[in-house]
Amino acid sequence: MHVPEAGRTADDGRPRARVLACLVLAAVAVGCVAALDPTTLRPGAWTLAFIASLVLGTAVGTALLAVARRWSGAALAAVVCGLQGIVVLSVLANQSRAGGVLNVVLLLPLAVYAAVYLSRRQCRVVMAALVACVGVVMGAVADGVLQWISLTALPVLAFLGTSEVVLRLRTHLEGALASLVEQVATDPLTGLLNRRGLESRLPRAADAPTGFRCVLMLDIDHFKAINDRFGHEVGDEVFRRFAAGLAHETRAGDLAVRLGGEEFLVLSTTAPDQVSDYAEALRARAAEWMAEWAVTVSVGVVSATAGEDGVARGDVLGAVAAADECLYRAKQEGRNRTVVRPWNDARPSDGVSTSVG
């Protein structure tokens, strides 16, 4: 079974853009104070260039707050590099460039930001730009090559070391979170998705199409009798055998879920004209998977009619309830059979077809 990747749905771009906006606007505020001090900036073109950078920074910071979710990682990396350029400008435009070198410390939060919020590749680009910026700044105050190397090496090592530590911590944290999410979303006995896992695989918007065109509810017949006769260890093995077969037989793009107990759910992209055959094939194959214990399954199916795009996220629960009613009917009619009906506004008893094993 192929499970669509959940993706990083929790991060829609707002937090990282807002943090960067705060850094930009804070830098602008500090720059405005410096621009008001006549003893700080070199007069003429340097002052004009620095003021222009503050105006641009204000515009960028405001834009980050206004349309945060639309900023890609590459755009944010470009903004970080631009801020690094402003730091360089603040040093070169300072009347005392040696004193202005203190501004290099402003590169540290940018390095940490890149390590926390940007991709590893984007972070590397930012770090390369940071090294270049430090080299330019130190070149403006160093008396010789050896002094330039020593002055450049110290902040570069500090910034790169800090960003690398943060990157590694982030990698470990993301791995731990991914493992935790997988555990929370997976049934520990069968390895299939559970209810929480199903919800995480569906789109967020209630009216968003899921791509699924039929819903199958499957129930292992007389499972309590299996536990009573063979014991719970065999019962667990029946679950595992059935789940493994279900995962293998479901199509790419389908979702197989253990709802609880002996009830299982399949959301499938199968076309409406193939649903009955598909459901019957699963029922027949299930009897083969569990032939050792002579176990069968009942199946209730709800299918989109021809021309429908499928079930929207908000309709999934309704489709599951309708499929459950079909499953109940299959049990009433003797079990080990499939009951199918279209997914529409008809009553559950209308348009039903039954296939018996």
Do the beta carbons of residue 118 and residue 17 sit within 8 Å? no
249 carries an active-site annotation: no
197 closest CA partner among 256, 247, 264:
256
- Residue the block writes with tokens 């906006």: 21
Q: Tell me the two tokens of residue 326.
A: 């079909």
Report residue 116 CA to chain centroid gap.
16
Distances (CA, A) of 62 to 86, 109, 274: 17, 19, 54
Q: Tell me the two tokens of residue 339.
A: 């009951």
Do the beta carbons of residue 297 and residue 334 sit within 8 Å? no
Q: Which helix (H) or strand (E) holds 356?
A: strand 353-356
Contacts of 49 (CB under 8 A, 6+ apart): 89, 93
Q: Tell me the two tokens of residue 127.
A: 């770090």
Which string of DSSP letters, residue by residue, matches 251-293? Answer: PTT-EEEEEETTEEEEEE---GGGHHHHHHHHHHHHHHHTGGG
Residue type, 248: H
- What SS3 state is found at 215? strand
- Set 5, 164, 233, 262: catalytic member: 262
Catalytic residues: 262
